[in-house]
Chain A
Amino acid sequence: MARRFVAGLLRQQGHEVEEAADGEAALRSARERRPQLIVLEMVMPGRDGGEVLEALKGDAATRRIPVLVLSVRSREEDIVRGLELGAEDYITKPFHTQELLLRVRKILARTA
């Protein structure tokens, strides 16, 4: 549901959004479609976000795609871990919609 909401939010702003149901699908989709930005939740069944992030940064094809982590894991250690693994930015849930959109815009502008 969170995924659907965030996807809807981004689409409202005019972005083209593709959704992935879990870690495996996300990696596949990232390799095939080369998006300009990936919004990632750390807590997922199967391969968790941390593993996905590591895989993304370890693969030459996807290394340069910026990743914005949007996660319920909000402890200091979690945020540090996310950023260390290569995330461009880390937003914790619950979040402000406007803040999310702003950060997305900034990342896209920076990496355009």
Chain B
Amino acid sequence: MPAVRPTVPPRIDETATTRTQLLQRATVCGGAVVGGGIVWGLSQLSFAAPSDEQDARVFKLVLALEHVKAAFYEQALARAGLNGELRDFARTVAQHEKSHVAFLEQALGGATESTPRPDFGDALKDVDAFSAAAVKLEDLAVATYNGQAVNLTTASLTAAARVVSVEARHAAWIRSILGEVPATEPTDAPASEDETRARLRDFGVDVG
């Protein structure tokens, strides 16, 4: 199990490292050009630049997702009637999601206040429902991480990349168990923050 760094080196973006540069940024915030420096137009709001604050917002979003998944597998093991391969899958993945939750909470400096504790109801009424929901959730995790990772600072990106591939493995694994083609697309499309929230709402989970 890798050592996880909970804090990332503080930076505005990958090029600003001195106080002088930071102050220069402040003066160009509205979109002026400072002698050969970066043009901060409306399309390049400081939001787009990686930052600690943005990393935290991203991590909060994916943490909410990981909480949902951890709860899903925990509840599935308790009442979805899983056996054999599916049970082994759920047990392993539950452990992974717990680890993901722990990592993200540590990165954010401790457990967050609002931890979604969804009740999955019909999604866990039987093995088929569980399987279909698991595919959706794993695919959603991949799409969410891929959608958000481009926003992250280098250190956070490095960490997030270590998680997203595991989610992708989960997705192909459950499909393999179901006898479906484990991967059909040549690329995995990213999901925006809105899409992630919408897809979680389909599970009756509101992380807003």
Tell me whether A and B are bound partners: no
Using a CB–CB cutoff of 8 Å, the interface residues on chain A facing chain B are none
